[in-house]
Amino acid sequence: MHLISTIFMSLTALLLLVYAFLIGFYHRIWRKIPDQSTHALPEYNSGSEVRVGHPALPIKVSVVIPARNEEEHIGHCLDALSRQTYPAEQTEIIVVNDFSHDTTADRVRAYRQCILLNLSDYVSGEINSYKKKAIETGIRHARGELILCTDADCTMDKDWIRTMVSAFEEKQAAFLSAPVKIVPDGSWISVFQSLDFISLQGITGAAVFQNLYPMCNGANLGYTRAAFEQVGGFSGVDHIASGDDMLLMKKISASFPGRVRYIKDTRAIVETGAAKNLRTFLRQRIRWASKISHYDHKATFYTLALVYLLNLFLLVFFFTCFFTGQWWWLLAFLLFKTISEYSFVARVAGFFKLKKLMPWFPLCQPLHILYTVVAGSFGSFGSYEWKNRKVK
């Protein structure tokens, strides 16, 4: 028994060391990503005036927003989009109503500059990925050369579209992964989600900048219509409930090597609220985890396996301490994990102007370990419920 305990502790320590090296690697890459928040954005001529020295009328942009039962949030999202500094005549906003049971559609109709599409007019029978179908329907009706995607419960800076267009032009990108911020409301669950998401955002930026593996979030991304059409849109992955972001990113990355980019600019940040309770949060994370098996990317698999195994070992070690009494070792492992992550998360939190949350970071460690194991386990098999739908 003592030998088994020693081997288990040694493996846990080894996983921690590898994990600490990986986090340090992400930290170094994040610091290398140029922060363009203070760079001046280009000024564009509008259709009604010509200003000497300014570029001609810019490209047409279509913002596509799938929405299901979002009466509480959609107005805030459309208000933010109506205040954009990008020329209005070169912007179209398309909201695809995904079989909402509330007043979402009525709220959208109040915005004259928005195009409302009802998914029920284009889908007959049940499918497994309504969100992908909603986005695909929106793009089919879009006139823009550049497609920007966000969610109905998001808001953004007035320069969001202009910042995204500038990044596409400067980086010659086919696909752009952009930052997302969860705004805490003061509750413990929102603080935990915000800190957890800060870490994910830092890893996303590092992974995309270094071309390690595809990472993005559907709440804030963009791609050219040409790239979407060339890879056949969501064909081949349209049977998967989730993955309208990373699975599409993977397809575009394969067809447009070197043209998948990340933008580190505070004006490009899209903000969203936290899940209201632990149950909703876990369902969301299980939904995200459900697409992992479809990535077929070795670096992604090994990284996620490392994170899952480390947290699983720490959770098992916690329960074994009731029999072995090795609580000091568990505390040492948790302290080492916290210290290895702290500087990285603090730096990314500074970019999102959420550094005030860092005192809560050590206290969130036990819950982070538990949810990682739960989401990773349940996301790998079976079905789950999301927005009153049971999907696989």
State pLDDT tens for residues 146-156.
999 999 999 99
3-state secondary structure 277-300: CHHHHHHHHHHHHCCHHHCCCHHH
In whole angstroms, give the CA distance from residue 94 to residue 336.
48
Residue 41 falls inside a structural domain: no
Residue 357 falls inside a structural domain: yes
CATH of the domain at 112: 3.90.550.10
User: Are 78 and 116 members of one domain?
Assistant: yes
Position 299 scores a pLDDT of 78
Question: Per-residue pLDDT averaged across 70-90, rounded?
Answer: 96
User: Are 101 and 243 members of one domain?
Assistant: yes
Residue 255 falls inside a structural domain: yes
In whole angstroms, give the CA distance from residue 349 to residue 355.
5
Please tell me the least confidently modeled range out of 35-49, 188-202, 237-251: 35-49
Q: Quick one: pLDDT band at residue 293, thresholds 50, 70, 90?
A: low
> What single-letter amino acid sits at 365?
Q
Please tell me the least confidently modeled range out of 21-25, 38-42, 135-139, 292-296: 292-296
Who wins on pLDDT, 381 or 198? 198
- Whole-model pTM: value is 0.91
Which one, of 186, 346, 174, 195, lies nearest residue 253 by Cα? 174
User: Are 90 and 234 members of one domain?
Assistant: yes
User: Are 140 and 225 members of one domain?
Assistant: yes
Domain range for residue 315?
2-32+298-381
State pLDDT tens for residues 84-133.
999 999 999 999 999 999 999 999 999 988 999 999 999 887 887 899 99
Who wins on pLDDT, 158 or 381? 158
- DSSP alpha helices (H): ranges in the chain? 2-32, 74-82, 104-109, 130-141, 160-171, 188-209, 225-230, 246-255, 278-289, 298-324, 327-351, 365-378
Residue 389 falls inside a structural domain: no
| Local structure of 92: helix, strand or coil | strand
Q: Is the pLDDT of residue 199 over 90?
A: yes
Residue 282 falls inside a structural domain: no
Position 56 scores a pLDDT of 60
Who wins on pLDDT, 248 or 50? 248
Q: Is the pLDDT of residue 47 over 70?
A: no
In whole angstroms, give the CA distance from residue 97 to residue 67.
5
Which residues, in sequence order, are bridge partners of residue 95? 65, 116
Position 50 scores a pLDDT of 46
User: Are 146 and 246 members of one domain?
Assistant: yes
Position 387 scores a pLDDT of 63
Q: Is the pLDDT of residue 278 over 90?
A: no
User: Are 124 and 238 members of one domain?
Assistant: yes
3-state secondary structure 136-147: HHHHHHCCCCEE
Which residues, in sequence order, are bridge partners of residue 181? 271
Looking at residue 40, the DSSP 8-state letter turns out to be P
Q: Is the pLDDT of residue 381 over 80?
A: no
State pLDDT tens for residues 221-257.
999 999 999 999 999 888 787 778 999 999 999 999 9
User: Are 162 and 102 members of one domain?
Assistant: yes
Q: Quick one: pLDDT band at residue 52, thresholds 50, 70, 90?
A: very low
Who wins on pLDDT, 46 or 186? 186
User: Are 157 and 67 members of one domain?
Assistant: yes
In whole angstroms, give the CA distance from residue 137 to residue 117.
8
For 3, 20, 127, the CA distances from 260, given in Å and listed in that order, are 49, 27, 29
User: Are 76 and 161 members of one domain?
Assistant: yes
Question: Per-residue pLDDT averaged across 177-199, rounded?
Answer: 95
User: Are 71 and 142 members of one domain?
Assistant: yes
User: Are 174 and 306 members of one domain?
Assistant: no
Name the average pLDDT for the chain.
90
Residue 51 falls inside a structural domain: no
Q: Is the pLDDT of residue 10 over 60?
A: yes
State pLDDT tens for residues 210-221.
999 889 999 999
Q: Quick one: pLDDT band at residue 28, thresholds 50, 70, 90?
A: very high
User: Are 304 and 258 members of one domain?
Assistant: no
Structurally, the chain folds into a number of domains equal to 2
Position 43 scores a pLDDT of 85
Residue 286 falls inside a structural domain: no
Residue 170 falls inside a structural domain: yes
